């Protein structure tokens, strides 16, 4: 079974530039999550999709972050403009959407460095 695919693996940009990350979840997984993990901390949920609808985006900085999952499959997360504090690993995860996160699987993440 293929895992959760993310790209790019690494990205370095200057502050005020924009950047986009891509995630392709496991086939059949209805629920998709984007997390931000700052060095030394646990991941923080940014946004959760159920199919192509948003379930929770309460911690997404909407003035600069946006995410979409138009066809209910793959998803993109965008930052525009980037700030130095956005330097982090951005993790995508997917699950079957059943209670308790059955089948919860993470991608390898995208490491973003803002300089």
Partner 1 sequence: KNEVEQSPQNLTAQEGEFITINCSYSVGISALHWLQQHPGGGIVSLFMLSSGKKKHGRLIATINIQEKHSSLHITASHPRDSAVYICAVFYSGGGADGLTFGKGTHLIIQP
Residues that bind partner 1 (CB under 8 A): 31, 33, 35, 40-45, 48, 55-56, 58, 91, 93, 95, 99-102, 104-109, 111
Nearest residue (CB) to partner 1, 8 versus 101: 101
How many H-runs (helices) and E-runs (strands) does the chain carry?
0, 11
Question: Distance (Å, rounded) from C-alpha 43 to C-alpha 25?
Answer: 18
Least gap, CB of 48 to partner 1 (angstroms): 5
Beta carbon of residue 77, minimum distance to partner 1 (angstroms, whole number):
14
Tokens of 85: 């504090």
Question: C-beta of 70: minimal distance to partner 1 in Å?
Answer: 20
Q: Shortest distance, CB of residue 59 to partner 1, whole angstroms?
A: 9
Nearer to partner 1, 17 or 106 (CB): 106
78 vs 111 by CB, closer to partner 1: 111
Cis status, amide bond into 15, omega within 30 of 0: no
Examine residue 8 and say whether the peptide bond preceding it is cis (omega within 30 degrees of 0).
yes
| Phi and psi at residue 60, to the nearest 5° | -85, 125
27 vs 58 by CB, closer to partner 1? 58
- Angstrom distance (rounded) from CA 67 to CA 57: 9
């Amino acid at each position: 079974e293929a895992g959760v695919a993310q790209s790019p693996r690494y990205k370095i940009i200057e502050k005020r530039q924009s950047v986009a990350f891509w995630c392709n979840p496991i086939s059949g997984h209805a629920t998709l999550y984007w997390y931000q993990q700052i060095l030394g901390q646990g991941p923080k949920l940014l946004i959760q999709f159920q199919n192509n609808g948003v379930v929770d985006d309460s911690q997404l900085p909407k003035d600069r972050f946006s995410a979409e999952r138009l066809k209910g499959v793959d998803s993109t997360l965008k930052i525009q403009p980037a700030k130095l504090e956005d330097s982090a690993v951005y993790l995508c995860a997917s699950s079957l959407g059943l209670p308790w996160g059955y089948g919860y699987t993470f991608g390898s993440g995208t490491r973003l460095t803002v300089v």
